Structure 1
Amino acid sequence: MSGITLSSAVRDNLLSLQNTAKLTADTQSKLSTGLKVRSAVDNPTSFFTSQSLNARAGDLNALLDNTGLAVQTLQAADEGLSALTNLVQQARATATQALNTQISATTAQTANLGASAAATANVVSAGVGVAANNTITVTTTGGNGTTFSVTTSAAAGRDFNEFASAINGGTGISASFADGVLSISGDGGRTVTISGTAATALGIAGTFTNGTNRDQFATDFNNLRTQIDQLAGDASFNGVNLLDGDNLTVTFNETGTSTLEISGVTYDSAGLGISAQDGSTFATDSGVQSALTSLNGALTSLRSQASTFGNNLAVVENRQDFTNNLINTLESGAAGLTLADTNEEGANLLALQTRQQLGSISLSLANQADQAVLRLF
């Protein structure tokens, strides 16, 4: 090519066509890739700034995954608190039912032992078939159940009042003698079993269940308490249980300088101050009232903690929305530095194609001047 001599007009048109072809190729590349800055060669400032913005957006995107897990963990804890509240309310209803149930003693009574069995009459010689040194054993069941035995004395021993007084020495057992009738009661309203030769002779051997007690309420209460323990242990998400003493740290920025510390609680029955109950504690109104006081305190704690977790959840969700918007801003800013305007580039390409056609025509016209010399021959 260097040995070929071109006229000035032809060379100018050739250079114009070459520039147009180069611009056309560049414009077509921008349209095909969608980028006006494809490397640092195109525009170092825009390229590296875009890279920095996209890198930060990527870091924040990674943090969003952890933020989403934190939201789910808080929601799991909130659902656990709601379920625990329902269980505590059930336990409170059970205790209230127990309080409204009046205890009545289980009582065994002899038939009227007659005039010969007056209060001052000797039990052995009262003509009712009770021999000396015979025993009567009284057993009560339940939380304060006990077994207590009394032995009749020799012929000159206890009268009926004294015999009843001796039986009264048993815990939770009461006895009285009035109008020729001996009565033995289990104070807690539970089952009473009376045995022994003296009991048989007096006609009161057997098992008696005619009282009213609160044992079933205590059993139901303790079953609910077990469910509280199990539910508190199951309220975990991704290995974190905010109701079983675990803490959670949520990081909001890529440098770790913006965080939220969420403190967990231990809300099993012990942590809520709900103690196990038995027949002895539910046997008195004061015992049930004490349980109700504990339950009311537990409900207050649950509601307060639900409010705290709710506030934490609102903060995390707000930061999650903020981070999403910030990522969009960063990516939009990066795109603004590197993305091509397809409408503009399309117009450029159309103009370049027109210019190329005009350049070809111009080159042809310049060539014609050189070809005029051929007419001389």
Structure 2
Amino acid sequence: MSGIVLSAAVRQNLLSLQDTAALLSTTQNRLATGNKVNSALDNPTNFFTAQGLNNRASDINNLLDSIGNGVQVLQAANTGLTSLQKLVDTAKSIANQVLQAPAGYTAKSTATSAAAVLGTAANLVDGTGIKSGETIGFAASGELPALTVTIAATESLDQLNTALAAGGLTASLDSSNKLVFTTTNDYAGQTIGAITLGSAGTTTFGGPTAPVADAASQAIRTSLVNQYNGIITQITTTAQDSSFNGINLLNGDNLKLTFDETAKSTLTVSGVTYNAAGLGLGSLTVGTDFTDNASANAALTKLGSASTVLRTEASALGSNLSVVQLRQDFNKSLINVLQTGASNLTLADANEEAANSQALSTRQSIAVSALSLANQSQQSVLQLLR
């Protein structure tokens, strides 16, 4: 107020008291909020830098939810793969039971020469019915592969059997010295294919006979086929159920994860279709499959390939899961670093501010006392006027 005249000493003490009060107010505000920078007015550089760090930490924190869901998607797929592998192993066990089951046929398929051959077991070549260089061809039939055998100059029965083994056949001479071709035990349920002879010899063969099934043994094999088909159905349903939050990596879905706020760091996990058909497996037919060892071995071959595929995918999935978990941990650590950096720029040191508050309170008391002393000269004048 311009109408009030203060002495220089009083005015100086008053200014000092006002400064102390302002500093005390600032210190108390810092103690109350815990921040030394509460707005851009306190320190523009620190305020906006801290704000940027906190914003980035918030953006990365928002990504953690989707990353966490991604981990669960991968975990669900991994659980599905483990179950699929166990189901495939169970199917292998069923197929192996077929190999241990009694023969499914009382008589196997045969093809017999129309007339007796003139050769012997030691040398089938007689120069008329069977000649050197003659070829005998067997058409593929069921599980039996196609095969062509060339007769050597002195072809023995043992040599012929060695050549026929690749086609699942054996040769023998019956009591009438006729040449008889028979399926091996592994191909007991197959019928010999059409036989084609070269033009060298005169020997011919009648039509192959079909195998005669054993009812009791086939009943066992029918049961095993039904068990196998039940496992195949479970493989398909297990693959379809291995989803999380609507994403199924075992049913053709893809997973894309974003690791940073700029969307420049991403990971795409390509899904696969691992139902029974996707693994190269299918249901078997009663009366056609598991009728002999050859059909069981064919199923085991497919199951072995399916196991290899599952193990390869499990390895790839495990690698991706490790990457996602590492990035998840990295993002958590990075958020902590960003928030710590922002706090270092804005947070007040409680110990320092408490010490400042104590010192300012003392200074304020001293300033009040000094102001009182400065007023004493004017009080002396007042005493004279009285």
What range describes the TM-score normalised by the shorter chain of this pair? Answer: 0.7 to 0.9
CA separation in 2, counterparts of 1:356 and 1:284?
105
CA separation in 1, counterparts of 2:224 and 2:217?
18
CA separation in 1, counterparts of 2:11 and 2:326?
66
CA separation in 2, counterparts of 1:240 and 1:258?
21
For the pair 1:312 / 2:320, whether they are aligned, the reply is yes
Three-state SS of the structure 2 residue aligned to 1:6 is coil
Match of 2:271 in 1: 264
For the pair 1:349 / 2:357, whether they are aligned, the reply is yes
- Check conservation: 1:275, 1:291, Cα contact below 8 A: no
Counting only pairs closer than 5 Å after superposition, residues 169-318 of structure 1 correspond to structure 2 as: 187-190=212-215, 213-279=220-286, 280-318=288-326
Structure 2 counterpart of 1:31, one-letter code: L
Structure 1 counterpart of 2:333, one-letter code: N
TM-score, scaled relative to structure 2: 0.71
Match of 1:39 in 2: 39
For the pair 1:85 / 2:85, whether they are aligned, the reply is yes
- Check conservation: 1:232, 1:268, Cα contact below 8 A: yes
Following TM superposition, by how much is the alpha carbon of 1:210 offset from its aligned partner in structure 2, in angstroms?
8.1
CA separation in 2, counterparts of 1:47 and 1:187?
92
CA separation in 2, counterparts of 1:91 and 1:244?
21
Q: Which runs of 5+ in 2 are unaligned?
A: 108-188, 192-209
Structure 1 counterpart of 2:58, one-letter code: G
Structure-2 change in CA distance of 1:13 and 1:285 (3 Å): same
- Check conservation: 2:39, 2:47, Cα contact below 8 A: yes
Following TM superposition, by how much is the alpha carbon of 1:105 offset from its aligned partner in structure 2, in angstroms?
4.3
Residues paired across the two proteins, number? 285
Match of 1:136 in 2: none
For the pair 1:65 / 2:72, whether they are aligned, the reply is no
- Check conservation: 2:102, 2:217, Cα contact below 8 A: no
For the pair 1:330 / 2:338, whether they are aligned, the reply is yes
TM-score, scaled relative to structure 1: 0.72
CA offset digits 1:11-56 (Å, max 9, x no partner)? 1111111111111111111110111111111111111111111111
Q: Which runs of 5+ in 1 are unaligned?
A: 108-170, 174-184, 191-208
Match of 1:55 in 2: 55
Structure 1 counterpart of 2:214, one-letter code: G
CA separation in 2, counterparts of 1:105 and 1:248?
52
Match of 2:30 in 1: 30
Structure 2 counterpart of 1:189, one-letter code: D
CA offset digits 1:237-263 (Å, max 9, x no partner)? 011000001111111111111111111
Following TM superposition, by how much is the alpha carbon of 1:187 offset from its aligned partner in structure 2, in angstroms?
2.6
Counting only pairs closer than 5 Å after superposition, residues 106-145 of structure 1 correspond to structure 2 as: none
Three-state SS of the structure 1 residue aligned to 2:364 is helix
CA offset digits 1:135-193 (Å, max 9, x no partner)? xxxxxxxxxxxxxxxxxxxxxxxxxxxxxxxxxxxx999xxxxxxxxxxx983323xxx
For the pair 1:2 / 2:10, whether they are aligned, the reply is no
Match of 2:161 in 1: none
Structure 1 counterpart of 2:268, one-letter code: E
Structure 1 counterpart of 2:272, one-letter code: V
CA separation in 2, counterparts of 1:341 and 1:20?
20
Structure 1 counterpart of 2:99, one-letter code: L
CA separation in 1, counterparts of 2:254 and 2:364?
70
Q: Percent identity at matched positions?
A: 51
CA offset digits 1:70-122 (Å, max 9, x no partner)? 10000000000000111100000000001110234479xxxxxxxxxxxxxxx
CA offset digits 1:228-287 (Å, max 9, x no partner)? 000000000011000001111111111111111111111111111112112312102111
Structure 1 counterpart of 2:277, one-letter code: A
Three-state SS of the structure 2 residue aligned to 1:271 is coil
CA separation in 2, counterparts of 1:17 and 1:312?
67
Structure-2 change in CA distance of 1:362 and 1:284 (3 Å): same
CA separation in 1, counterparts of 2:36 and 2:346?
5
- Check conservation: 2:78, 2:314, Cα contact below 8 A: yes
Following TM superposition, by how much is the alpha carbon of 1:211 offset from its aligned partner in structure 2, in angstroms?
6.5
Deviating above 6 A after TM superposition, structure 1's stretches of 4 or more consecutive aligned residues are none
- Check conservation: 2:87, 2:235, Cα contact below 8 A: yes
Three-state SS of the structure 2 residue aligned to 1:214 is helix
- Check conservation: 1:103, 1:212, Cα contact below 8 A: no
- Check conservation: 2:98, 2:292, Cα contact below 8 A: no
Match of 1:198 in 2: none
Structure 1 counterpart of 2:212, one-letter code: D
CA separation in 1, counterparts of 2:59 and 2:342?
15
Structure 2 counterpart of 1:255, one-letter code: T
